[in-house]
Every structure is written in structure tokens, then in C-alpha cells.
A and B are shown apart, each in its own frame.
Chain A
Amino acid sequence: MFSKAILRLAVVLMVIAAMPASAALNVFATVPEWAALAREIGGDKVNVFAATNALQDPHRIEAKPSLIARARSTQLVIATGAELEVGWLPVVLREAGNASIQPGQAGYFEAASAVRLLEVPARLDRADGDVHPGGNPHIQTDPRNLLKVADALTVRLTQLDPANAAAYKAGLARFSERWKAALVRWEQAAVPLRGVPVWVQHRSFPYLADWLGLKELGALEPKPGVEPSSAHLAGILERQKATPARLILRAAYARPTASEWLGERAHVPVVVLPFTVGGDAEAGDLFGLFDDTLRRLLAALK
């Protein structure tokens, strides 16, 4: 009786599966920034799903059933790579039973493969905390990286959906044009940030620092992914007296305790950056993300 019911249900589902899906290319982005980028390039030719939101710690995502269900019928997975998603994506890809999105296939795209990674560790030891062997994966905080990822992503979209190649090309051209104009605007506005010494909560912003010329004094976390103890923070407070930083940077998803503690005692403003699309109300898209990031940095500097 039970098996018969299952059989019937399976037949119904097979019929649903056989029905033509919507014409748009289904895209599964692991983080909001790649979802936003795919929308910029693909427009109405893509149907984009973001697996996580900006208020979730990207290192601690679970292989939820909803993600497996989405991965099952997607044609392109856009991951950051560099082991950012190592804790959940491999399971989602394996469980989804979708051969076309396995690593190595055209349906699997890693953004990190298009850019040069910073902070590639010279030695690999778990005693150094949650280190990423390939380098720091938070590449989206440098807008110049977005251009490179956009180029590579367009190639991939065209490969998967040649019928809409012209639309992707046009989408990329439109995005690049606007993005380059915005880059000039941002770089001009960000001149006062050059050489400004900062503390960071987690090593989330090496690419931002590289772009803007911020001087990172160090991270509040003693090791990546390890919560700072009060003794460790006291040590940083001492160092702050010798080499004072002017800002403390924290991503929107991060726990406020440590940065607030230090900011209060050292009388240094704590800047909560959106980190990715959706990190705050103003960071609604990629342009808003950097407009708001710069606005917050500059406002805190005054």
C-alpha cells in the first residue's frame, strides 16, 4: 500500500518534471553578490536564486533541504570558490542529483577563478584557525574584481545559453560601462581613505583595503573564525595606544561584541559595512553596495 502510494506520487512528479520549465536560465548563486551580478548581466534571461543572505555568516551555512531542491533544477551554480562554501556546497551538489552542476562541468562557476587571490597562506595548519588554502575568498569587496568576474561569468552564460548570447553581451557592456564610470566616482571620493589605519573584526576586507589603500593593522579575531577573548582584546587596546587606528571595520553579519568593546575603550568609530548586497537598506544592488560602503567609511572618518 505504502509503496503503491509512493509509486503514484513518483509518476505525478515525473509528469511535473517532464513539463517544459520556464525559458529563463536557472541560476543558483551561493552568496548575494553573485546573484546581483547575474541579474545585472542576464536581466530577464536568467532566473536567479540566492542561497544565502547578507546577514548570514558565509562560513557557517548548512546544506538545507531547500538548497538541495533548488540545486536540483538549476543550470548554473555560481560559487565564490576558494573553499568559502566548503562546509555546505559539496553536500548540496552531491545530494541534488544534478550532473550538470558538478565541479568541472560548465554548470559550475567559481568567481575566485577569475581574480587574483590575496592572503594565500604560506603554511597550512589548522592551528592557524579557519584558513582557506587558496587564499582569502572575500573577493567581492574590491569592485575591480567584479568586472573580471562579470567578464568570465558572461562567457559562461553564453556557453550555457547560446541563444541569448547577444543579450548577455549587451548586459555585460551595459554593466561594465556603468561600473567603470562608478569606479571613477568611487575612487575620486575615496581619496581621503588612502593610508588610513584600521582594525578589522575578521579578515573580511583585504580586497577593500587593497583597493582603497586602507592600512590594515590586524584582525580582532586571534585566528580566523576564532572569537577574540578579553585578554586578546586588551592586547589590541595596548597596540592601539602605540599605533592608533582610526576605524574598526565589521561586516553586517558579524557579532558586534568585540568591535564595540574596543571601539568604546579606544574611542575609535566602529563601521558596520554591508559586506554584500542586502547587508543594509541602502545596499540593494551592487552599485548601492559600494556607494554605501564608501559613504559609511567617509562619514566615520570625519
Chain B
Amino acid sequence: MKKNLIFGLTIITGVLMFNTSCEDMIETPPPNEILVDDAIKSEDDLQQLLNGSYHEMANTFGGFYQTLAELMSDNVALPNNNDYREVYNHNVLFFNSTSGAFYSQLYRGIFRANFVETHIDDATDLTEESRVRILGEVSFIRALGHFTAVRMYAQPYGYTTDNSHDGIAVTTTVGTTPQKRESVKVAYDAIITDLENAINKLPEENNGYATSWAAKALMAQVAFQMGDYSTAGDMANEVINSGLFTLADTVNVFDASASSEHIYSIISYGVNDQRSGSYTGNFAAAVPVIQMDKALYASFTNVDNDKRLQMLEVVNKGAQNEFIKTTQFNTPYFNIPVLHLTMMHLIRAESYAKQGIDLSVATQDLNDIRTRAYITPNLLPSAATASQILDAVRAERKIELLFQGDRIHEVKRLGAIEGENLFIRGHEWNCKGMLLQFPITEKTEIFNINPTGGCD
């Protein structure tokens, strides 16, 4: 009996030994992908990963973000698209796939930036200079992503006095643990920290990618939204005074000739590698989904004199199916400025006027814009008062940044920071539907989604 047992066991053990030495038999990695450990070895690998993050941001800002922000504002007409209608009606359901796709696009960009940061030490040939720059770019992308998310998915800065109201998830690491919904204050603190980092680490010139000027311009925009006019004015001033950017002759900042104004833009590299499709698709069709609000158009009294308004086209004029579309996006592809010089002039003018400082600089900012915008410009007097400047800058801003996704945030800033009682289509600036809704998968025990039911 013993002999049998030993004989049997020997055979079995032999097979086991054979197998255990062949652990590879159960290692079958996916053939068409690279294992993370094998993929990131050099600076070039990191650079390519970072490019993947920019790519996501490009898809976010190539018209997608701007379309949704415009839909929330009073600039556009009721669209013929169900998801868009919910945005327009300020009642976005958590099943709205467009809002969901936008949200995931944003955070995918942030994730990829975080991924680069996590793996930065995997590149063995990384120089200190590149390391600093890459970390600066990560910070910039993350700040841009979080800033966009908090503006679109949360009530604005200033909605509560201490900004303790619900903000967004602040994602700064790679992992699968669901994050909690941070307050708006925490979100803005994180954005500012990232931007300070980016300002310190980024170079002044970076081949189309983020620079320290882009970070400063974004900081100006963030501070402006927060009502921190001192920082906003300073930052805009620094960017303008860098002398690296000049106001273009054209009123269309999307035109190829306007690139001298672009501080940070999404690059369309060619007709087969273009990132302006979302703009073209939504705004430039024969009968576009996004059309201008007719009442807003009717409120402009100076159309003939305003080169910017002349980019608008009234189709089927007088007929029942009349609509107004912009011709701004009629080229096959173009770069999309996310931060540009006109924006800086507008921020500086308003920030200085709010603080009552350097009013002559603010006046000049406005007059530069007006000189370009009008056939016969009506310039501000050199001794314009702060209040005159404020009125002028807000009027110009509305037209200058039309279809750039600015208006909704402007309404919210004026409501939350300046205490104005503003409405969009009868909905107050702070009503519960005046934001996008999170996809339902965001909801966890530590993450409340936005209230449902829309604005009353």
C-alpha cells in the first residue's frame, strides 16, 4: 500500500513541480497594450502621457464646454436637442448623457495629469528642468479642470458667505477610492495652490502647451470669479505687460490672424487633427443647433456700427422660421483660445475700476477694445469715472466674449459677489437648477449630487 501511495504521489508531485516552475502559464497580459511598468521609462514617455492629458482638455475646450455654458446663459435660443434642452431649461437630469460626457471628459483630463505626476519618477533620464516643467503643466491642467468643474457643477463662489456650500471632488491622486464632495472653498483653495505652483514652475515659452503666462491668465480669471479684484487686476496686468501678446486687428478671436492674442489655446493641427469640431458642429451648420436668442439680438441697438455683431447672420429674416446664427466658426478648423488678451484687458479694466485704482489704464483697456470693435468707436473720456468704466466694460464683455462660455459665470459673479438680482429666462442666478447635474454614478454616501427638479 505504501509503495502505491508513494508511486502515485511521486507522479503527482512531478507534475506539480513541472507546473510551479512554469508560473508563466497563467500570466497572459493583454497583447495590444503595454503594461504600465514597461510603458513609462523615459522623459519622452512622460511627455506623451502628458500629451494625452492635453488631448482630453482639448476635447473639453474645443467647443464642448463653451456650448454647455452658453446653453445655460441668456445668449442662445431653445435648441432642438433633448439633452441641450435640459441644460437650457435649467433642469438637467442625472441621466443627461451630454452633461455626463462633459463631466467625464474633464475628469479624465485631470486623471491623466495626476497619472503623469504619480509616475514622474519612473523616467530615468528626466532632467530637473523637465521635471519642474512637467509638474507645472500637471498643476495647470488640474487647475483648469477643477475650475471648470466647480463653475459648471456647483453654485458660484460667494453663494454662501464662507463658501461652505457643496463644490466638487478635488482629485489630485490616482486611485479608485471615491472622493467626497468638497466645499467650494476647498475647491478654490486647491485651484489656487495648483496655479501658484504652475506659475512658479512653468516656462514662459512652451511650444503650444501651458506657460507661466497661461497660469497667470487663468489665475486672473479665477480671482476675478472670486471677487478678488486685487489679484485679478495684478495678474491680468502682468500678462498684458509681458509684451508677448498683442491685440489682433480682427474682432474674431477664433480667426487664424488673432493668434497673437492667444495666451493658451487648443491647437488644431490640420484638417485631420482638428479640435474645433464641437464649435463647428453646434454653431456652424446651415441650421445650427445653437442659435442666438432673438430677444438679445433685438436688444442690440448698434448692430451696424459693431463689427462683432456683424458676425451674426439673420437667416430667413421676417419669416416664421427666422433664426440668428454666428458666422464666427465657419472655417473648417481653427485654434480655440481658452485664455486670451482681450479677456485680460476686460479683467484688468473691471478689477481696477472696482478697486478705484489706475483708472486711466482701465479706460485705455476699454478704448483699445472699442477702437477695434466699432466702425465709429464711442471712446470713454480720459477722465472716466470708475462707475462709467464698469458700465462700459460689462457691456463690452457681453459682446466680446459672446459664445465663449463666459456669460453664465458673469451673471453668477454679479449675483454672488456684486449682489445684483439677475435672472436668466425667469430663473434667478442662484436657483437650484442653474448648474449642470452630475452623472448619477457620482452619488455615494460621501457625495451628494445637486438637487433635482430644476428652477421654479
A and B physically associate: no
A-side interface residues toward B, CB under 8 Å?
A: none
B-side interface residues toward A, CB under 8 Å?
A: none
